[in-house]
Structure 1
Amino acid sequence: MKDKPSNNIRLNSSWSEDLIKNIGCVTVGGTPSTSIEKYWNEEIPWMSSGDVHLKRIYDVPGRISELGLCSSNATLVEPPAVAIGLAGQGKTRGTVALVLLPLCTNQSVALIQGKKDKLDIFYLFYNLEFRYQELRSRSVGGGRAGLSKSILETLPIPIPIIKEQQAIASVLSAVDRAIEQTEKLIAKQQRIKTGLMQDLLTKGIDKHGNIRSEETHEFKDSKSILGRIPLEWTIQEIASVLIQPPKNGYSPSESEIWNGIYILGLGCLTGEGFKPRQLKYAPVNNRRIEAALLKDGDFLISRSNTRALVGFVGIFKDIGEKCIYPDLMMRLQFSNQVLNNYMEQVFMSRMMRRQIENIATGTSGSMVKINAKAVKKFIFGMPSLCEQKRITSRLKFNYDYILKLKLSLEKLYLQKTGLMQDLLTGKVRVTDLLDQTSTTST
């Protein structure tokens, strides 16, 4: 007699439920002895738990030999299958991936295959992806909680007819393809932005809108780490374009109640500038808070963080409430020789990051600091104000396009979440959705 499944998800009344062990097969892997060289680096793909984050697995870096396979609990499984991370305190436990090649796994990964005409493996992938938090909550073992073969085998799965399973998987796969394409486009544009920044902040743009080159424009030796620069440019220290020394903020004790003022957290300064996040409640206003109040357009730089994050900058944007900046940030006030937006790009550039990371010091293994004296000594290439405007305008065009792509990606993720909630519970039947799409297109 089959075990009775139990699941809290509200399903369409026409759907049945069954346990994975009745409609599929669960295989848990193993690891050959690492001390025997002939067990390793041969022809058989061997998957570790970290590989589940690839989501769609066409290959894995690990390899074992036929001898290694025979000497361990690893089992070669034919595709398609769903891989699921069994252990770990991070995000790996409960994460699923589609396996699209024959492979075996270590003991921290299970592979699930579906029985023909009962369980579509692509449908199962989306069902388990949708139930990530539930899977983690089913784990056992305290601090090092983990899933097991028996937990997975007794997991209830909603079972519409096989054609509906396939249709659900097809709709969600289409959204996943759109997500993947958008992510690739964002990555490509990020690479373009990095190269563009390097060109614009070392070669600039002439009055005709062209990036300079030594073949068509005059350059000179800057006698600095910046190398050769356009003839029209000068090399300046940050100190030469400040109207007053960098000033640290103020970090009062955080209040538990709202008193009308926020304290910025270090996380507000990112690799992409100012982001209004990690905001804390400031206590009742006093003189020191008054001195640290921010105005729209104030230029901030972090003076303490990890080596990779220290020196992040951002231009404060009014969020509708008063804000102060903390002691671990400095406010820089530039003269009218430079634009704030241009200086933001300068501080984000590879050349400035190199200066910051080289000068940062600290006794902690992770946290380092820069001080006002060091900041004032940093050097940069300074074009005319007109050229600064051209440079920032070109970079803004690229930034706005990336932002548009990121917003599209966010909408796709929200669309996928909504579709999963509707289709994987039968709240909306996939046939109805496809009929609506067909009607809309005609």
Structure 2
Amino acid sequence: MKSAFEAVPAGWRVTRVDRVASVHARIGWKALTAAEYQEDGYAFLATPNIKSPEIDFKNVNYISEFRYEESPELKLAEGDVLLAKDGSTLGIANVVRSVPRPATINGSIAILRPRGIEPRFLRYVLASSIIQGLINSVKDGMGVPHLFQWDIKRLPVPLPPPTEQRRIANFLDAESAHIDHLVGLQNSVRQKLDERDRASRDTLAERLASRVGELPFRRFVTRIEQGASPQCEAVPRQGINEWGVLKLSAVKGGYFDSAENKRLPDEVEPVKAYEVRAGDLLVTRANTPNLVGDVAVATGDVSRLLLPDLIYRVRLAAGIRADYIVQIALSSRVRIQIESAARGTSQSMVKLRGEDIKEWPIPRATLTEQDNFVREVARGAEATGRLRAVIDRQLGLLSERRQALITAAVTGQIDVSTASGRGIEG
């Protein structure tokens, strides 16, 4: 790759990743499958575990000692820099500041083991706009986003003297912590808005149920079916002329996102009986305990999108609206029942049976009462929606500020001994 760091301060030089760090990654899975995951054992990190400011060693899968020992070069050590090299999270980087338990990485992460460079400085170089731009240029040229070790090794690295590397890393640590604090405050406000929406929905649902009474959901259901999950490509379908299989993330928080799908290979014949139709009521069959049983109505142009085996399609009898069921299913009275009924062998994934769904308590409202209920819920969410838009803008500005500070610091555009990036609170 041509160096993107055209000008650096006097005393700095530009080198490459492979000259300041060794690069290690899992070559295939050595026949390792998810069926081998254990309740406890050796932490097996995936890209979600490195997305937060601190690496998450708790919400992980676990593998056996044998699997851990068979790849000694992938045993995590303090000072390792982790880089996501596959999928939509391609380019995310983090540094191992401590190893609270023996851990290794899955095939979507590369380990950069620094030699002669401050690990935190290398992590910030990888997070700079310049390196992220280079990574995106590689990603954009591929069907399945992936960084090969050859690409990683050739990434350019500006290299100031060691004392300056530490000074820059300390500066960015402090500024990032400050931005993280502001992000936390914004997310706290968002959480309160979510709680307000839930409380409003719960109040409306309780009032309706006490007035009209309840029936088990089975009285309103004609059929519950699930699809299939053939081997798909790790990219969404391109245009409505291609077939795609919905991902679990297509159903989230009462909303449907048709873009959350995986492309069905041309050689795989689609099972058209599983094609999603606009207006279908969708319920997630398997997920984490707080997300299993999530609901949404399929909307928009959903032609050539297929139902996976982890999402149910619930057929409704006449006289019941799908969007009404969505709002009732999101209420606490149903969510509590879902979480108590969900079954699984671990806390990371539980499943819901069709029989569990049929037991949901549903107020026996008329169509007019259903319409009024949905309208009232929407009216209550309208004001909080405007506030969420403001929060999203603030979070976007904070993200841009972080990126600008990182890029300016690792390229020597600012003197970190005197600079401060904190003129952002307003």
The CA deviation at 1:413 is 1.8
**Alignment of structure 1 residues 182-201 onto 2, 5 Å:** 182=185, 184-201=187-204
Query: Structure 2, unaligned stretches of length 5 or more?
Result: 218-251, 256-276, 283-294, 304-322, 332-365
Q: Report the counterpart of residue 343 of structure 2 in structure 1.
A: none
Q: Report the counterpart of residue 79 of structure 1 in structure 2.
A: 78
The TM-score, its normalising length taken from structure 2, stands at 0.53
Aligned residues: 292
The CA deviation at 1:181 is 0.8
Question: Which of 410, 417, 437 is the aligned partner of 2:403?
Answer: 417
Find the residue that maps to 2:419 and give its secondary structure. Answer: helix
> In terms of mean alpha carbon deviation, does 135-144 or 167-176 score higher?
135-144
Q: Report the counterpart of residue 433 of structure 1 in structure 2.
A: 419
Amino acid at match of 1:107: G
1:222 lines up with 2:205 in the alignment: no
The CA deviation at 1:41 is 5.7
1:17 lines up with 2:17 in the alignment: no
Give a deviation string over 1:303-326, Cα, whole Å, max 9, x none. Answer: 7588455488xxxxxxxxxxxx99
The two structures, once aligned, show a CA RMSD in angstroms of 4.8
1:166 lines up with 2:143 in the alignment: no
Whole-Å separation in 1 of the counterparts to 2:77 and 2:63? 16
Q: Report the counterpart of residue 8 of structure 1 in structure 2.
A: 4
Q: Report the counterpart of residue 157 of structure 2 in structure 1.
A: 157
Q: Report the counterpart of residue 95 of structure 1 in structure 2.
A: 92
Whole-Å separation in 2 of the counterparts to 1:379 and 1:93? 47
Find the residue that maps to 2:143 and give its secondary structure. Answer: helix
TM-aligned CA distance change 1:405 to 1:146, over 3 Å: closer
The CA deviation at 1:44 is 1.9
Amino acid at match of 1:165: I
Query: Structure 1, unaligned stretches of length 5 or more?
Result: 205-211, 213-218, 228-269, 274-301, 313-324, 329-345, 355-375
TM-aligned CA distance change 1:197 to 1:7, over 3 Å: same
TM-aligned CA distance change 1:68 to 1:17, over 3 Å: same
Whole-Å separation in 2 of the counterparts to 1:156 and 1:110? 17
Find the residue that maps to 1:429 and give its secondary structure. Answer: coil
Amino acid at match of 1:66: E
Whole-Å separation in 1 of the counterparts to 2:411 and 2:176? 17
The TM-score, its normalising length taken from structure 1, stands at 0.52
Amino acid at match of 1:21: D
**Alignment of structure 1 residues 93-132 onto 2, 5 Å:** 93-100=90-97, 101=99, 102-115=102-115, 118-130=116-128, 131-132=131-132
Whole-Å separation in 1 of the counterparts to 2:139 and 2:120? 23
The CA deviation at 1:38 is 8.5
Whole-Å separation in 2 of the counterparts to 1:145 and 1:164? 34
1:28 lines up with 2:39 in the alignment: no
TM-aligned CA distance change 1:430 to 1:225, over 3 Å: farther
Amino acid at match of 1:167: N
Q: Report the counterpart of residue 65 of structure 1 in structure 2.
A: 64
Whole-Å separation in 1 of the counterparts to 2:393 and 2:34? 51
TM-aligned CA distance change 1:225 to 1:188, over 3 Å: farther
The CA deviation at 1:420 is 3.1
1:350 lines up with 2:327 in the alignment: yes
1:178 lines up with 2:168 in the alignment: no
Q: Report the counterpart of residue 353 of structure 2 in structure 1.
A: none
Give a deviation string over 1:155-213, Cα, whole Å, max 9, x none. Answer: 22112322332234224422441354135414522431232222342467xxxxxxx9x
The CA deviation at 1:140 is 11
Find the residue that maps to 1:431 and give its secondary structure. Answer: coil
Whole-Å separation in 2 of the counterparts to 1:145 and 1:36? 22
Q: Report the counterpart of residue 377 of structure 1 in structure 2.
A: 367
Whole-Å separation in 2 of the counterparts to 1:420 and 1:120? 15
The CA deviation at 1:141 is 9.0
Asked if the contact 1:40–1:65 (Cα under 8 Å) also holds between the matched residues in 2, the reply is yes
**Alignment of structure 1 residues 127-146 onto 2, 5 Å:** 127-130=125-128, 131-138=131-138, 142-144=142-144, 146=146
Amino acid at match of 2:13: S
Find the residue that maps to 1:91 and give its secondary structure. Answer: helix
Find the residue that maps to 1:433 and give its secondary structure. Answer: coil
Asked if the contact 1:52–1:92 (Cα under 8 Å) also holds between the matched residues in 2, the reply is no
Find the residue that maps to 1:166 and give its secondary structure. Answer: helix
Amino acid at match of 1:415: R
Give a deviation string over 1:367-415, Cα, whole Å, max 9, x none. Answer: xxxxxxxxx93534969xxxx8xx9997666555544433332321232
> In terms of mean alpha carbon deviation, does 35-44 or 124-133 score higher?
35-44
Amino acid at match of 2:146: G
Q: Report the counterpart of residue 320 of structure 2 in structure 1.
A: none
TM-aligned CA distance change 1:381 to 1:110, over 3 Å: closer
Give a deviation string over 1:307-350, Cα, whole Å, max 9, x none. Answer: 455488xxxxxxxxxxxx99x9xxxxxxxxxxxxxxxxx97972
**Alignment of structure 1 residues 283-362 onto 2, 5 Å:** 304=279, 307=282, 310=297, 350-351=327-328
Asked if the contact 1:164–1:430 (Cα under 8 Å) also holds between the matched residues in 2, the reply is yes
The CA deviation at 1:19 is 1.8
Find the residue that maps to 2:127 and give its secondary structure. Answer: helix
Asked if the contact 1:32–1:39 (Cα under 8 Å) also holds between the matched residues in 2, the reply is no
The answer to which structure, 1 or 2, has the higher relative contact order (CA under 8 A, 6+ apart) is 2
Asked if the contact 2:5–2:158 (Cα under 8 Å) also holds between the matched residues in 1, the reply is no
The CA deviation at 1:352 is 8.4
Sequence identity (%): 14
Asked if the contact 1:26–1:153 (Cα under 8 Å) also holds between the matched residues in 2, the reply is yes
Amino acid at match of 1:8: A
